[in-house]
Structures are given as structure tokens and as C-alpha cells.
Structure 1
């Protein structure tokens, strides 16, 4: 995909409750099976989400000329600038609310999740998170502007799933030490959820503007 660094975009897809969910699943009973269910949900949601956003971008491109990717005044770039403004607002909101910030309460229910529930969580944390919808819309707009087909987004989808799988890889790599390390990672992310969200917003802003 021209103009997109897909690895940082994939990282942005998973920063926030998304990666926190993945970390919680590797500290739950039957961690491997549950984590695989989560990864399957992430893969399906990302494939479908990019397809929908590509379709929207294509329809928009048919109705309004989104312009050339090199034209900073094109409609496609204006859409991206609007996304930047929304992300800056979200980052500021997280910063000013950091003193009282808490992770979503539903994260606490994931410790007892079954593989089926983990699959559903994987679907929802991608499909319903505004930051992920923004990322996938950016991918769709870029595909439409560059005249590429849907297949050009598959590396992005694959890298998103790979990033989601990092906690599982770490679990398998650490072996018995994971029983100590992964709960600490989980607890840190729970107490610093506001920082994780700000990082996600800022990474995406940089990707759009560079």
C-alpha cells in the first residue's frame, strides 16, 4: 500500500483494550486455546473491516474525486486530517482524565472466557473500537487513491494478527516463567490504560502526517 507503513498501523490496531485482552487471555486457564480463539476473531474482524472500509472509500471515490495521494488538498487527505483532529482530541481527553482512568470493566470477565467467547471478543475489539475503525478507513482510502485491489491490504491484516499474537508467543517462549511475568504485564497495562491509549493515538497521527 503506497504511503503506508503497515507495521506501525498494525501496532496501532492492537494498542489499547485490544492488546490488553490478548495479555489477559494468556494469563487465563487454557491460555493457548483461548488465545487462538481470540486471534481467529481478530483475523475475521480485520478482514471484514478492511473490506467494508475499502467499499466505502470506493463508493466515495465514485461520487467525489478523492484526488491523487500526492495532493495534500485532495478529499482523501482532508478525510485523513479530520481523523488526525479526532485522534488529538482523544489523546488530550485521555491525558486530562489520567488520574481517574480505569480499564473497561468487561476486561475483568475475560479470565474465565472460553475459546468461543474469546473469538467473539476478538471480533468486537476490532469491529467496535473507534481507533481501529479509523485505521481501517485510512487503509481503505489509501487503497482507493492508489488504485490497488483488496489483496494489497492482506499484509496489513496478517501483521495485525501477528501483533495480536505477541503475548501468546511470549507465553510459549517463557515457559514456566510466564506464570510470573505475564500477570505483571497484565497488571501494569491495567493501571496505565490511559498511557496505552495515548500512545495508540499519537502513533496513528504520526503515520497520517508523515
Structure 2
């Protein structure tokens, strides 16, 4: 796997994923529910990498994905199609910015148990469109380099580490983080569309680069 896909780990956690991790910092059982959330997040990330690699392998059996350096290869064209889908998402988020409301399920995380936190972490990886696109990009990259799923371990570790940053910050600077997190949570909740737009644009830049 090429190292240039590692920055895609940022898009795996930006948006509702990191917002959920931050909201859990205001939970009455911060460490326990955060670890459960991260466990679900990590397990789903590993499963989705393996699935993306399998899908890319099936595609490569039908058509040649080509050399990663070839901008006209089938693999590159697939990534350009993914960029197009992200551009559509950017436009939709921009047009709906005035009436945007934070997802109602985010507020329910404050009372979530360990099972709910685990499932939330897993579903955010499995169902988020940006995560799906990121995984397909990683899968195509693995297939183009004829690499096994284990070659994506650095990507998985980087993704889980970024998702764990709020908890690590809490453990290192508990008093400061406890004071500031409610304000950060409220800001992210009211600027969800802006965050989604920034994530999509970052993803587009990373793919095209």
C-alpha cells in the first residue's frame, strides 16, 4: 500500500465520528464508554478494510486497475468517480446549510451504555458515505500494488489513533478538557454541515494529489 493513502485516515474520523468521541467526553463514565466506542470503531475499520480489498480484488479480476502512477488507468478512473460523488455531497451540504440540524442521535450518546457506544462506533465506520469512499480508495490502492489486507495495518492504526485523540487528551489534561469540551461539542453540533464540506474537500484534495 502506498503511504500517500495514510492521510485518508483523517477523513475516516472527521465529522460525526470525532463529534461522537468528543460528546462521550462529557459522559458520566468517560473512559469506559469511550473505550467501548473505540473498540467498535476499530473492529469495523478492520472489517471494512478487508471488505474493500475483496471488492477491489473482484474488480481487478474483471478489468485491470493499472499502474497507480497512470492517471488514465481504471483504478484512477474509479477514484475520479469517487471524487465526483464527493463533489455532489459538498454541493448538497452547502445548499442545506441554512436549515441544518445536528443528528438527534448525537444527543442520546450522553446517556449511552457500553453496548450503545460500541455499536455507534462500528456503525459510523460501516455506514458513513465518506468512510465508504475512503475504504474503497484504500482497497483499490491495495489491489493496484497487489498487497494483502495486512498492508493496510498502518492505515488502520492511524485511523484508530486519530479517533482516540479526544480520550487521550482527556486522560492527559482532564481538568482543561472537561472545561472546554462542552463548548467544542456545541460548536461542532451547530456547524455539522461546514465540517462535512471541509471533510469532503480534504478527501478530494488527498485523492487528486
What are the Cα deviations for residues 18-58 of structure 1, in whole angstroms up to 9, with x where unaligned? 11110111111100000000000010000000100100000
Distance 2:54 2:4 in 1: 19
8 Å CA contact 2:94, 2:193 repeated in 1: yes
Question: TM (normalized to structure 2)?
Answer: 0.97
Distance 2:148 2:92 in 1: 36
Partner SS, residue 184 of structure 2: helix
Residue equivalent to 2:25 = 26
Distance 2:51 2:157 in 1: 17
Residue equivalent to 2:174 = 175
What are the Cα deviations for residues 135-161 of structure 1, in whole angstroms up to 9, with x where unaligned? 000000000001111111011001111
Unmatched runs of 5 consecutive residues or more in structure 2: none
Residue equivalent to 2:82 = 83
Size of the aligned set, in residue pairs, is 209
Distance 2:3 2:34 in 1: 32
8 Å CA contact 2:38, 2:164 repeated in 1: yes
Partner SS, residue 206 of structure 2: helix
8 Å CA contact 1:171, 1:182 repeated in 2: no
Distance 1:119 1:201 in 2: 26
Unmatched runs of 5 consecutive residues or more in structure 1: none
Deviation at 1:3, TM superposition (A): 5.8
8 Å CA contact 2:5, 2:138 repeated in 1: no
**Residues 139 and 5 of structure 1, relative CA distance in 2, 3 Å threshold:** closer
Partner SS, residue 4 of structure 1: helix
Over 4 Å off, 4+ runs: none
Residue equivalent to 2:201 = 202
8 Å CA contact 2:24, 2:34 repeated in 1: yes
Distance 2:101 2:44 in 1: 26
| 1:92-111 map, 5 Å | 92-111=91-110
8 Å CA contact 1:76, 1:141 repeated in 2: yes
1:131 corresponds to 2:138: no
Q: Which one is further off, 174-183 or 195-204?
A: 174-183
Question: TM (normalized to structure 1)?
Answer: 0.97
| 1:155-194 map, 5 Å | 155-194=154-193
Residue equivalent to 1:74 = 73
Deviation at 1:179, TM superposition (A): 2.4
Residue equivalent to 1:2 = 2
8 Å CA contact 2:25, 2:178 repeated in 1: no
Deviation at 1:119, TM superposition (A): 0.6
8 Å CA contact 1:14, 1:160 repeated in 2: yes
